[in-house]
């Protein structure tokens, strides 16, 4: 009798897509899954862990600030003492530009959290997966990786970086039995997207997104992108002449936040 529990790691598991992925896998596999959840917000993380335990899942959680890279890598390496089957590298943050400028502190935070920490997590996971010659690395990027918006330059850059990094690892690790998947979702109804001031067409719930991702992961997809119409629109922006694409982005309010205090208008 096979008593192996599916071991799933989720970073950014306290809310949004990360929490929905954790709860979905807990509900689907119940006593047959072990969840290792990582996030910065301890209170929200404990709440997510309790909900997963309600479905019968075995849950361990670790509070970690992904901007503290050495501590993050140590946390992930400790978790890998029990072999990980699927790792959702999901944690992310965002921000917007004002008058075409984005504070350096904000840019640095976004790149450190979304890109550098994701690379650090993968680096900590790969050796044990190579040793077992199995495992899945799932990187949560965004369809924003296709085309930069003036509204959030560093966020787009971080997601483009994740897309390229994941594609590179897919090529590098395929001969070692490790599967790498890049996820490019559209707008998901989370606190982060709520703070985004531009248009959010075809917005879906984080629970629905988790179901879509899980089904594709089960089919060993190396690229998951949705919704199709939004993906097609992003690709179209790459094909169109730049002035046309810029006009479309401006109409969608993807340019920048204009801070025009009263009395300073000409």
N- to C-terminal Cα separation, the chain: 77
Structure confidence at residue 264 (pLDDT): 35
* Enclosing domain of residue 24: 6-251
Distance CA 219, CA 242 (A): 37
Output the pLDDT for position 263. Answer: 37
Q: What is the pLDDT of residue 260?
A: 56
Query: Is residue 258 included in any domain, yes or no?
Result: no
Domain membership flag for residue 261: no
Which pLDDT does position 149 carry in this prediction? 87
Helix (H) or strand (E) holding 11: strand 6-11
> What is the per-residue pLDDT across 90-103, written as a single tens digit (0 to 9) for each?
999 999 999 999 99
Angle between helices 242-251 and 228-239 (to 10 degrees): 140
| Torsion of Cα atoms, 242 then 246 then 247 then 252, to 10° | 150
Query: What b/e string do you get for 25-63 counting C-beta neighbours within 10 Å, with b at 16 or more?
Result: bbbbbeeebbbbbbbbeeeebbebbebbeebebbbebbe
Please report whether residue 260 resides in a domain.
Answer: no
At 2 the pLDDT is: 58
Under 8 Å between Cβ of 115 and 171: no
Residue 257 belongs to some domain of the structure: no
| Residues of the chain where predicted confidence (pLDDT) is lower than 70 | 1-2, 260-266
In a domain, 259, yes or no: no
Picking from 240, 247, 206, 229, the residue whose alpha carbon sits closest to that of residue 21 is 206
162 vs 252: CA distance, rounded Å? 25
Please state the pTM of the whole predicted model. Answer: 0.93
Q: Is residue 95 part of a domain?
A: yes
User: Are 42 and 16 within 8 A, CB to CB?
Assistant: no
- Does 142 fall in a domain? yes
State how many domains the chain has.
1
The reply to whether 266 falls in a domain is no
CATH at residue 111: 3.40.50.720
pLDDT in tens, 110-127: 999 999 999 999 999 999
Give, in degrees to the nearest 5, the angle at Cα 83 between 45 and 110: 45
- Look at residue 216 in the predicted model and tell me its pLDDT: 97
């Amino acid at each position: 009798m096979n008593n192996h529990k599916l071991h799933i790691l989720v970073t950014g598991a306290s809310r949004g897509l990360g929490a929905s992925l954790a709860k979905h896998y807990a509900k689907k596999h119940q006593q047959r899954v072990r969840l290792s959840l990582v996030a910065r917000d301890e209170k929200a993380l404990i709440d997510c862990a309790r909900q997963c335990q309600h479905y019968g899942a075995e849950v361990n959680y670790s509070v970690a600030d992904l901007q503290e890279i050495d501590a993050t890598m140590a946390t992930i390496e400790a978790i890998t003492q029990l072999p990980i089957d699927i790792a959702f590298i999901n944690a992310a943050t965002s921000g917007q530009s004002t008058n075409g400028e984005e504070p350096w502190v904000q840019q640095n935070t976004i790149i450190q959290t979304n890109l550098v920490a994701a690379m650090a997590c993968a680096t900590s996971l790969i050796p044990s997966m190579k040793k077992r010659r199995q495992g899945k690395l799932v990187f949560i990027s965004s369809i924003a990786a296709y085309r930069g918006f003036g509204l959030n330059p560093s966020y787009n850059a971080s997601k483009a970086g994740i897309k390229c990094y994941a594609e590179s690892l897919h090529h590098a690790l395929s001969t070692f039995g490790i599967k790498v998947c890049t996820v490019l979702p559209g707008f998901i109804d989370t606190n982060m997207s709520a703070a985004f001031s531009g248009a959010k067409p075809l917005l879906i719930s984080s629970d629905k997104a988790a179901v879509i991702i899980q089904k594709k992961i089960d089919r060993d997809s190396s690229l998951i992108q949705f919704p199709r119409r939004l993906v097609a629109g992003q690709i179209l922006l790459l094909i169109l002449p730049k002035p046309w694409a810029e006009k479309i982005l401006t109409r969608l309010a993807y340019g920048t936040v204009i801070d025009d205090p009263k009395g300073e208008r000409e």
